[in-house]
């Protein structure tokens, strides 16, 4: 497994469920995605667009969500990824997409550095092609990642890249999962904190640092779980096997981190939290479900506490109670148990920021 910690924390696990986005939010997602891509092209050349990363797009959206007014847009020309249609996209000069571009390039730079380091340290199977490619691309990507001085300074990119360059050494000597995922946490924390500085909302910085650190650790764990079987066959380094961490322990950690992120988002000063919440909470919820094959609890249950999840009747026996709770308006007025998933919820009027849907947490019943 490639073990660049920044690769773990920003490798593209956050993406929207387009089915559950209204047209306004879908257009906003596309505007930032295309804006980051065009910023990479304008500032760093066509090939740089290959580094566009969905987690970096979320960072761009997070900047925009904190500002008093939305980022400016321009009309982009036809693109094959948009079916050769034009679109309104975030202007390449806006700080939001500039941060997204710098984040994407920093990810790519850290990845190439890690490829070389893990080859030297024997943490991955030898590959001359990967080593040669990383040696050629590494210095160029680092220069590009540091090129936007304003954004690079806000993130602390030089220090961040230097920190990440020692990840292979950390993995060779580390004995705990916290040590191994520490680089991921610090990297994501720096990027998330920079969104508050660039948006001009310093009061959000401390909480965003915590949210970023939690996201970095969770993403690193998800990557480790997803690669565990493959790594055991190839002999590549894996954080779980290296520290004797069980899948169940990783599951509990991911649920705890998701719950902390959900709570932290609710304390931020945001102009528009709709898309940020759907991406950070809903997207992470979906990734955890994908990796572990089961959905995280709406509220984290600490290890050793009685489980809130009990065996549920077949789905056909739960449909009518679900309709009674949610289609009569009862869920809006009183605390209740969702008959579909057995989870306890507050009344809808208190739970409008449930994390993925607008009121009833309905998408916890599906795979979105």
Query: Is residue 245 in a domain?
Result: yes
What single DSSP character describes residue 69?
Answer: S
**Local confidence band at 219 (pLDDT 50, 70, 90 cut-offs):** very high
Query: Is residue 51 in a domain?
Result: yes
Query: Is residue 135 in a domain?
Result: yes
Shared domain for 165 and 281, answered yes or no, is yes
Beta carbons of 105 and 48 less than 8 angstroms apart: yes
Shared domain for 279 and 328, answered yes or no, is no
Q: What pTM was estimated for this model as a whole?
A: 0.75
Looking at the chain, list the stretches that DSSP marks H as alpha helix, in order from N- to C-terminal side.
5-9, 23-44, 54-66, 95-121, 128-145, 149-155, 157-164, 167-173, 177-199, 205-234, 239-243, 247-265, 274-277, 283-292, 319-326, 330-333
Query: Is residue 207 in a domain?
Result: yes
Indicate the residue among 257, 277, 303 that finishes a domain: 303
Shared domain for 329 and 208, answered yes or no, is no
Shared domain for 15 and 111, answered yes or no, is yes
Shared domain for 75 and 189, answered yes or no, is yes
Query: Is residue 308 in a domain?
Result: no
Count of domains observed in the chain: 2
**Local confidence band at 320 (pLDDT 50, 70, 90 cut-offs):** low
111 has pLDDT over 70 = yes
DSSP string over 149-198: HHHHHHHTHHHHHHHHTTHHHHHHH--SHHHHHHHHHHHHHHHHHHHHHH
Shared domain for 283 and 324, answered yes or no, is no
Indicate the residue among 283, 303, 323 that finishes a domain: 303
Among residues of the chain, what percentage have pLDDT more than 90?
Answer: 49
Q: CB count, 10 Å around CB of 298? A: 21
Query: Is residue 309 in a domain?
Result: no
pLDDT on residue 299: 40
For the stretch 332-364, pLDDT in tens is 555 556 665 555 554 444 333 334 343 333 444
Kindly report which listed range (200-204, 237-241, 331-335) carries the lowest average pLDDT score. Answer: 331-335
Check the CA dihedral 226-208-249-7 and report its sign.
positive
How far from the centroid of its chain's Cα atoms is residue 324's Cα?
35
For the stretch 18-38, pLDDT in tens is 777 888 999 999 999 999 999
Shared domain for 256 and 171, answered yes or no, is yes
* Full residue range of the structural domain in which residue 294 is found: 1-303
Indicate the residue among 281, 303, 325 that finishes a domain: 303
Query: Is residue 150 in a domain?
Result: yes
Shared domain for 53 and 106, answered yes or no, is yes
Query: Is residue 33 in a domain?
Result: yes
Shared domain for 213 and 234, answered yes or no, is yes
Longest dimension (CA), the chain: 64
pLDDT on residue 83: 81
Shared domain for 294 and 322, answered yes or no, is no
**Local confidence band at 8 (pLDDT 50, 70, 90 cut-offs):** very low
Shared domain for 337 and 257, answered yes or no, is no
148 has pLDDT over 80 = yes
Shared domain for 325 and 282, answered yes or no, is no
Mean pLDDT of 162-168: 85
């Amino acid at each position: 497994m490639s073990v660049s910690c920044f690769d773990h924390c920003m490798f593209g696990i956050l993406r929207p469920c387009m089915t559950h986005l209204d047209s306004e939010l879908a257009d906003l997602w596309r505007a930032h995605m295309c804006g980051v891509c065009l910023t990479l092209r304008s500032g760093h050349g066509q090939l740089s667009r290959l580094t566009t990363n969905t987690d970096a797009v979320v960072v761009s959206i997070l900047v925009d969500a904190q500002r008093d007014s939305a980022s400016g847009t321009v009309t982009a020309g036809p693109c094959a990824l948009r079916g050769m249609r034009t679109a309104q996209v975030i202007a390449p000069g806006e700080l939001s997409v500039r941060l997204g571009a710098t984040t994407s390039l920093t990810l790519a730079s850290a990845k190439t550095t890690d490829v070389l380091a893990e080859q030297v340290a024997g943490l991955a199977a030898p590959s001359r092609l990967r080593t040669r490619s990383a040696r050629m691309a590494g210095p160029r990507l680092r220069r590009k990642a540091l090129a936007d001085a304003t954004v690079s300074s806000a993130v602390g990119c030089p220090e961040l890249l230097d920190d990440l360059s020692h990840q292979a050494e950390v993995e060779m000597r580390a004995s705990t999962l916290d040590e191994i995922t520490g680089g991921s946490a610090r990297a994501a924390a720096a990027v998330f904190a920079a969104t508050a500085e660039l948006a001009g909302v310093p009061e959000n910085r401390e909480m965003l640092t915590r949210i970023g650190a939690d996201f970095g650790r969770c993403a690193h764990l998800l990557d480790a779980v997803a690669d565990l079987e493959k790594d055991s066959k190839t002999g590549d380094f894996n954080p779980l096997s290296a520290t004797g961490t069980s899948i169940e322990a990783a599951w509990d950690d991911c649920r705890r981190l998701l719950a902390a992120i959900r709570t932290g988002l609710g304390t931020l000063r945001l102009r528009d939290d709709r898309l940020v919440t759907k991406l950070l909470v809903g997207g992470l919820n979906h990734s955890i479900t994908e990796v572990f094959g089961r959905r995280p609890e709406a509220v984290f249950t600490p290890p050793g506490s009685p489980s809130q999840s009990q065996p549920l009747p077949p789905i056909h026996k739960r449909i009518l109670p679900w309709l009674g709770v949610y289609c009569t308006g009862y869920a809006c007025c009183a605390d209740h148990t969702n008959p579909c998933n057995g989870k306890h919820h507050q009344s809808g009027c208190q739970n409008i920021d449930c994390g993925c849907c607008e009121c009833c947490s309905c998408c916890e019943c599906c795979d979105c």
